[in-house]
Chain A
């Protein structure tokens, strides 16, 4: 319906000139529109295909498998919610004591929150320094590239590099004992929540720096001057101008960090000495026990929780609008 009127509008100036031509022109307009639409589809096509094949399809499979039955050694393609009920086993009967799964999720959330807070704090100030204190474009680029250097080595190597530093006989402990600050080596430096958070912050701060820097660099410097002109102190300018205008970057960086940390099991495993449970770790251990439906069910639960957190974040800032 709307198409027809559109085509008619297009050709209406021609109508009086060529009495019979208006039909032709109308169909020509429709054809052109159809062609334009198919070009748009063609342009979006490759990405859609990749997206469908490598994201949507696996996701649908995971959801389907999560509702299958299973026993000790195989999965049975029949509808069952055993994956879910097994996961939450004893959660109601065991109250007020928290069941394993809830404890694990609380622990994961705690690690996630700590990492998020620290990466946000560090990332914000690094981005602030890069965007407002480094004056020349060249230096901004050089210093941002410098931030990426750690990514030249793999995650695992960067994690393992902490071990000789933080271990019982590691550099830090030796230094502390040598300087007489302690007599006993500090145990909580490695294979602890401390070391897990430390490694996570080390690995993921950069994901906070980039989007926040990107938001800050787009703040018109004249706005800072205008605030100064209005008598704002440095701190007032930060709170009233810089932070509100960096919000999109903060939210995007937060989404990066939270999704990565919520699903992480390697860092938690290596740096926690395989002693700390996390949501990702549950999935991994279910998988290695070949209990695919249970692993899938856990994956769906994790996905649900992560989506909840992210939608809460995007509720605070409408990222689409701010971009």
Chain B
């Protein structure tokens, strides 16, 4: 009874939220700024791709230029929450009318705000419009403390809610029966997979349980975020370097705080090498401590960014090749190539989640490994193994 009523509540909340946003879905028309002939298509495609890769304050689904030269944009807005110099301010991003060039000034709570390249700036006293200096930074404005629900923040909250709902209901089912039903039946093998293929072999049979919650959370967060990036809403959560830095910091601190005596010994006083080598090895090992999370964050960020750029570029083929292949030919070519890359991206979405979790488990395993204990065992085991090998080769 309880299990069946929960999803309905959850769906009701989600649909209510979506409806609330969709009511805000609206059409805006901003007069085209430059009336000097046709727009540079190449430049526009580059701008569009760069805009997609960055975080933004609204969902921009599509825009088109009407016959009267006006620009129409479709999308829905998100709340902007700021702590400006005159206290907290909150308003919807629709008040900027999709402007990201700092032209539309919004006056709220005694302060004036502009949206310059998806960053909100607060104008100084007495300023009417933003002035950009020689170094491409605004001269008469500063950034207020920004707590806005941007596109990526919305995506992270959505992924969090989804995971909470999926795994909450999966966990509850184990109280009553041993085999989950419904969607949990698809999730259970994945949890088992993370446990048996990632955590157990890398961390060790005795210690893996403590780190399972972190590994599972990271795995499913990255995977669902990556898959959300393949939807047409233009999410790019794991392509934000701030998100991947945060994830890598989690791994970094977990590794440092669970590192045992041997781990620190191998960094600051490497056993079984001459003293001079010990001193030379200290900076190298400390650097290695830092490059591990760095490579984690760069790998995830670069993979997702590269994937999105390739998909955007292939979609843009239908515009750039229109002159050579005609409308139908270029669209068909773009469709086939985009489909092909999208299928690969779905594989990459899983692979990156797997790699991040796998390497995190590997680093944790290196930090908690019992070195001396292992060495003795290996030494003993080796002798017996060798004898067996010799015997086998004789037989």
Asked if chains A and B come from one complex, the reply is no
